[in-house]
Amino acid sequence: AQSVTQLGSHVSVSEGALVLLRCNYSSSVPPYLFWYVQYPNQGLQLLLKYTTGATLVKGINGFEAEFKKSETSFHLTKPSAHMSDAAEYFCAAFSGNTGKLIFGQGTTLQVKP
């Protein structure tokens, strides 16, 4: 069964510092992977997705993620954190052939001035 693991429930960085949020998946078949962001009391907004093709995926707000099959990872990065990036981030994988998403446990990103 597909599963998604996010390492670190809380990540704290200083404004301007590199953001790295970790995500690993388990699957016997090539996965389709997503990163969503959730601001307080709001819905889930898609940051980026990997399906096939280029393994480095660029998303909105300066975020990008690299699919590494050998490491079963799909880590999310941003070169320079902004205060507005403070939110909950979810890594998710497409599960089965009906399109349901399996989510990781989420990582809360705190950005310090």
Partner 1 sequence: AAGVIQSPRHLIKEKRETATLKCYPIPRHDTVYWYQQGPGQDPQFLISFYEKMQSDKGSIPDRFSAQQFSDYHSELNMSSLELGDSALYFCASSLIGLVGSTDTQYFGPGTRLTVL
- Region of 14-22, 28-36, 53-61, 70-78 interacting with partner 1 (CB under 8 A): 28-36
According to the binding rule CB under 8 A, does residue 96 interact with partner 1? yes
> With contacts defined by CB under 8 A, how many residues of the chain interact with partner 1?
25
**Residue owning tokens 């941003």:** 78
According to the binding rule CB under 8 A, does residue 110 interact with partner 1? no
Evaluate whether 18 touches 77 at the Cβ level (below 8 Å): yes
Q: Which of 32, 41, 11, 39 is nearest to 91 (CA)?
A: 32
Give the Å distances, CA to CA, from 44 to 55, 59, 106.
23, 15, 12
Q: Which is nearer to partner 1, 73 or 107 (CB)?
A: 107
Task: Quickly list H helices, the chain.
Answer: none
Evaluate whether 82 touches 111 at the Cβ level (below 8 Å): yes
Least separation in angstroms between CB 28 and partner 1: 16
- Region of 17-25, 35-43, 60-68, 69-77 interacting with partner 1 (CB under 8 A): 35-43
Judged by CB under 8 A, which of 45, 55, 80, 84 binds partner 1?
45
Which chain residues interact with partner 1 by CB under 8 A? 32, 34, 36, 41-46, 49, 51, 90, 94-106
